[in-house]
């Protein structure tokens, strides 16, 4: 085969759903392209950075892969990526874009096809302005991505932040925070609570009968989560670079074939995995990986039709793309998102300024 890919992701335990979706999207694209010149080795990182480092070592030292991809979480990416790209391997990020790797720590072999972490938060801030919310209550877990998230929101939000609350990572009960939201009398509550935390919060928020509207980044309203939240999320606005109903030809085909292959609606993660594979395939058409410089140029060109429409790389090899506002609706008995409109167009991150590529 011409190209060997090491796919490492969280495939067991908590958070496995995201990794599984990325993998399924990725393999779907390869399958559709009939790419038998690409060999993929898949391994589980159990959501543990130490294990991921180990797996990466194995991919590089034993499997001698050319490209690594698959990681879901920022902290794992931070553990794996720097040393992998320093050893001359390519890394394509199908999810997670920590600021460190977009700014000073950017690298010529690191490509992000998803987003820089702040993108959705920034878009949410912009959306809050557009919607005319003059005061906001903002909340996130107390960890770096949470802190970055709120910073991102505040970067674009022009109204008043009445209260900024940090919850515990993995917290399950939000009664105290909900009481604070109710008492804050803000125009809007912005929250970033990925995974199960978001599910718990949304259910409890709906049950508490608070009438302050919510907005959030797409993570908390993803297809992996919505079925479990149900009508508690109905009508909530959220921001994402992709949506299943996004009106592009490539997307319609992708959603259909994903449904056919896996019998479920794809998530944002699946779409990103799909795009990561497409990026690789597009580069292979013009260059061989044995010529690293040429291959890098081919990647940079990003000559593929992204499921999210227009897509290109900024100088720091992170996306320049549109971020949309979506709304949660029930469609054909499935809770999902529909695009309401764009929030930010041709958006790229602020960290690129520190990157000297």
Interface contacts to another protein, rule CB under 8 A: 11-14, 16-17, 20, 43-44, 46, 48-51, 53-55, 57-58, 61-62, 74-75, 78-79, 82-83, 86, 98, 100, 142-145, 147, 164-170, 172-173, 175-177, 179-180, 182-183, 195-200, 203-204, 207-209, 224-225, 227-232
233/283 with CB nearer another protein: 233
Pairwise CA distance, residues 88 & 65, whole Å: 11
In whole angstroms, how close is the CB of 175 to another protein at the nearest point? 4
CA distances from 139 to 21, 25, 355 (A): 27, 31, 29
In whole angstroms, how close is the CB of 283 to another protein at the nearest point? 26
Pairwise CA distance, residues 18 & 32, whole Å: 21
46/306 with CB nearer another protein: 46
In whole angstroms, how close is the CB of 274 to another protein at the nearest point? 18
Among 239, 354, 279, 344, CA closest to 113: 279
227/341 with CB nearer another protein: 227
Pairwise CA distance, residues 344 & 277, whole Å: 25
Pairwise CA distance, residues 330 & 234, whole Å: 8
3-state SS assignment for residue 184: helix
Q: Which two tokens stand for residue 177?
A: 């925070």
**Sequence-ordered list of residues with C-beta below 8 angstroms from that of 310, at least 6 positions apart, any chain:** 321, 322, 346
49/342 with CB nearer another protein: 49
In whole angstroms, how close is the CB of 224 to another protein at the nearest point? 5
148/187 with CB nearer another protein: 148
**Sequence-ordered list of residues with C-beta below 8 angstroms from that of 122, at least 6 positions apart, any chain:** 152, 153, 155, 156, 323, 344, 347
In whole angstroms, how close is the CB of 101 to another protein at the nearest point? 10
12/345 with CB nearer another protein: 12
In whole angstroms, how close is the CB of 122 to another protein at the nearest point? 17
């Amino acid at each position: 085969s011409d190209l060997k890919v090491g796919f490492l992701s969280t495939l067991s335990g908590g958070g496995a759903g995201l990794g599984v979706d990325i993998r399924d999207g990725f393999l779907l694209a390869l399958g559709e392209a009939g790419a038998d010149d690409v060999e993929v080795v898949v391994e589980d990182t159990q959501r543990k950075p130490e294990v991921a480092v180990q797996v990466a070592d194995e991919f590089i030292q034993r499997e001698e892969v050319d490209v690594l991809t698959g990681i879901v979480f920022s902290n794992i990416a931070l553990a794996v990526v720097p040393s992998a790209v320093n050893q001359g391997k390519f890394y394509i990020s199908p999810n997670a874009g920590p600021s460190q790797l977009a700014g000073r720590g950017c690298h010529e072999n690191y490509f992000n096809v998803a987003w820089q972490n702040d993108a959705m938060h920034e878009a949410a801030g912009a959306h809050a302005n557009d919607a005319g919310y003059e005061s906001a209550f903002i909340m996130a877990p107390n960890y770096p991505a949470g802190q970055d998230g709120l910073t991102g929101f505040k970067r674009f939000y022009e109204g008043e932040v009445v209260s900024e609350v940090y919850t515990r990572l993995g917290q399950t009960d939000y009664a105290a925070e909900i009481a604070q939201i109710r008492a804050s009398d803000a125009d809007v509550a912005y929250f970033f609570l990925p995974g199960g935390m978001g599910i718990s919060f949304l259910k409890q928020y709906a049950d508490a009968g608070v009438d302050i509207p919510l907005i959030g980044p797409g993570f908390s309203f993803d297809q992996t989560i919505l079925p479990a939240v149900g009508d508690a999320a109905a009508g909530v606005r959220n921001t994402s670079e992709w949506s299943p109903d996004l009106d592009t030809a490539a997307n319609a085909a992708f959603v259909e074939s994903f449904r056919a292959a896996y019998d479920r609606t794809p998530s944002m993660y699946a779409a990103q995995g799909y795009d990561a594979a497409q990026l690789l395939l597009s580069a292979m058409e013009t260059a061989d990986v044995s010529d690293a410089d040429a291959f890098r140029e081919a990647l940079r060109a990003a000559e593929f039709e992204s499921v999210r429409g227009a897509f290109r790389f900024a100088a720091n090899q992170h996306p320049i793309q549109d971020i949309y506002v979506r709304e949660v609706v029930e469609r054909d008995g499935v809770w999902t998102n529909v695009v309401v409109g764009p929030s930010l167009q041709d958006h790229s991150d602020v960290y690129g300024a520190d990157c000297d590529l």
